[in-house]
Amino acid sequence: MCGLCGVALADSRARADESELELAARSIRHRGPDDFGAWTRGGFGIAFRRLSIIDVAGGHQPFENETGDIGLVGNGEIYNHVELRRELVARGHRFRSNSDIETLVHLYEEHGDAFVERLIGMYAFALVDVRDARRPKLLIGRDRLGIKPLYWAESPRGLAFGSEAKVLLALGFGERRLRSEKLLDYLVSGYVGGEDAAWSGVKRLPPATTLAWTPGEAPKLRRYWDLPTDRLRGPADAEEILELFDRVVRDHLISDVPLGAFLSGGIDSNAVVDAMARVSKEQVVACSVGFREKSHDELDLARLTATRIGARHHTEVLEPDPRLAIDPLAWLFDEPHADPSNVPTFLVSKMAREHVTVALSGDGGDEVFAGYRRYVHDVAENRVRARLGAGGTKLVGALGVRYPKLDWAPRVLRAKTFLSNVGLDPARAYWNSVSQLDRDTALGLLAPDLARSLADHDPFEAFEKIYRRPAVDDPLYRAQYADFHTYLPDQILAKVDRAAMGVSLEVRPPILDHRFVERFAPLPAREKVRGARGKHAFREALRSRLPSAILDGRKRGFDTPLKAWIRGPLAAPVAEALETLPEDWFAREKLRGLLAEHVNGARDHGRVLWSLFVLEQWRRRHGVVGLAS
């Protein structure tokens, strides 16, 4: 796992400055502390910070072709590089290293921009082709699921790109201003997603997309892969699931440095570690953390698997310090990102980095096999809609509006959200389940002038376009499809990438191998959700491998005690943050009211207050000077 950046200048007489690239690359040194390299040709320059994984001695980047007129930098891992290399050598290509990334240069020579369609892996890359001096070309691209990040920006000076947005700002592209509509998006969702980044003038390259640019021409974006949108796939039996699962786990084990895995008490990480033991002759290295709160602690379950497979098991009991959101997380997340599990994710990564350089994770299992509780609720809501018809759902929705919000009551009596959602369109109902704050409430926190300027902006509209793209009669798959294009890359994978790369740890999620995803994510709803549980097909396939305590246990995850944090160690920092957020952004008295209600126990506003606190730490750390319309 590494970091890359570069520029492509519009003026044919200009020359890329290697020292400028080196200076900009220092801002992402945490992504690659082992080495730096740069390559320039005319107005084009690419640079690289390396974390050595494959061919430690010979894998220095950038790479170039035999004639030196194509240069490339790449971040990530190409799992089928051995087979690709074999083909390329047979066709006469000469390699100078054993690096997986060098394969991309020669593959591009053979297949042009379409070479990405041959890749299996997680990656972001930048390639410069100056074979035609009159039409030099930059090509940048990102892996299918968006595991590795890539940002870009265009200006009259040319085009710049980088693994993190801070690199573009260091190169003089983009503005240190927050897009005003992204402020509303952030309050509603808890993160910033979509093609427009938080920073004015900076864009996020979507997953499974390449961008080609030549001076004097507009950037050309091409999506080269997607999940099926026309039909679902047939059912899968346990043998098929386990066979492909073992294959992708085996492929993810390539490494010339210490490799291990995250191991919690959950199904997905246990499945990964168990498969590692089955497909590898090496002893598995597993890294697990526990928490002092027994309701969140899963160490006993992790030890169960580690002992059964004979893993070398490293454990540590953590007490997450929320002040990490001030430093270093505010720097590592160069867009505001309000998931409180950023804190334990960073600590888990830091602990694992003491033992390994590469860690496999269980990320993606909930998205592929519909494991989140919101998927279960979505299936239940749609079943009720189908039975009641249009008139019945309208009546139930009206009842939900009038039903009291009984947060204090037993779960069986807390029916307001369910009843209200049944009366909504399925797209809007699912949006409600993935939002942390409704739009009207978020607008009410903003300064009046800013709220008026955003009156026509609704974050739901971009989500709805994606949700409706699949032409299948399966609301669950549409919900999953939307998550694969929004929540997964922009929230979950961004969290893991920034937290792990902050300690120079490479994290690989084999469940998100595109071969596994495109086969099993489009399974019919019945294969994923049965009764009150999701992940049915995967869970049942694993019956022959994992104990019931893991397969049938309660899902926990990285819950964080926000209520206690904000009434305890963060009381003063949160209060200070609310006072220093700009007055042209927020209605100060509204924020004070939220904090007062939270502190005196009248209401739990932990999630919103945490979001505001994180936003202010980000604004200060990155020198944000204002809003941009």
Contact call for residues 457 and 450 (beta carbons, < 8 A)? no
- Alpha carbons 316 and 269: distance in angstroms, whole number: 17
Q: Is there a domain that residue 533 lies in?
A: no
Q: How far is CA 104 from CA 99, 127, 159, 251, 530, in A?
A: 10, 9, 22, 18, 43
Residue 334 is assigned to a structural domain of this protein: no
Instruction: Please tell me whether residues 24 and 155 are part of one structural domain.
Output: yes
Residue 228 preceded by cis peptide, ω within 30: no
Task: Answer yes or no: do 81 and 196 share one domain.
Answer: yes
**Structural domain span for residue 442:** 392-477
Report if residue 302 sits inside a domain: no
What is the token pair recorded at 510? 């084999």
365 within some domain: no
Residues of the chain with pLDDT under 50: 406-414
Both structure tokens of 382 = 């749609």
What does each C-alpha distance from 354 to 302, 316, 351, 526 come to in angstroms? 19, 12, 6, 42
* Of the residues 449, 477, 505, the one at which a domain ends: 477
Instruction: Let me know whether 450 and 571 are in one domain.
Output: no
Contact (Cβ atoms closer than 8 angstroms) between residue 150 and residue 140: yes
List the helix and strand counts (H, then E) for the chain: 28, 19
Which helix (H) or strand (E) covers residue 316, if one does?
Answer: strand 312-318
Residue 209 belongs to a domain: yes
Q: What is the pLDDT of residue 564?
A: 86
Report whether 235 contacts 246 (CB < 8 A): no
Phi, psi at 527, each rounded to 5°: -75, -15
Given this model, what pLDDT does residue 297 score? 67
Rounded CA-CA distance 268/275 in Å is 11
Based on the fold, state whether residues 11 and 129 are members of the same structural domain. yes
- Does residue 16 sit in the same domain as residue 121? yes
At residue 493, φ and ψ (nearest 5 deg) are -70, -35
Exposed, middle or buried by CB within 10 Å (0-12, 13-18, 19+), for 87?
A: middle
Q: Are residues 473 and 567 in the same domain?
A: no
Q: Position 305: which residue type?
A: T
Last residue of a domain, one of 223, 247, 280: 223
pLDDT, residue 391, reads 63
Residue 278, domain member (yes or no): no
Residues 459 and 591 in one domain: no
- In whole angstroms, how far apart are CA 244 and each of 414, 441, 592? 41, 45, 53
Q: What kind and span of H or E run contains 627?
A: strand 626-628
Would the pTM count as exceeding 0.85? yes
In a domain, 544, yes or no: no
Q: Which residue has the tokens 């909930």?
A: 366
Where residue 15 sits, what CATH number does that domain have?
3.60.20.10
Residue 502 amino acid letter: G
Domain count along the chain? 3
488 in any annotated domain: no
Please write the tens of the pLDDT for every residue from 579-614: 999 999 999 999 999 999 999 999 999 999 999 999
Identify the domain boundary among 198, 223, 248.
223
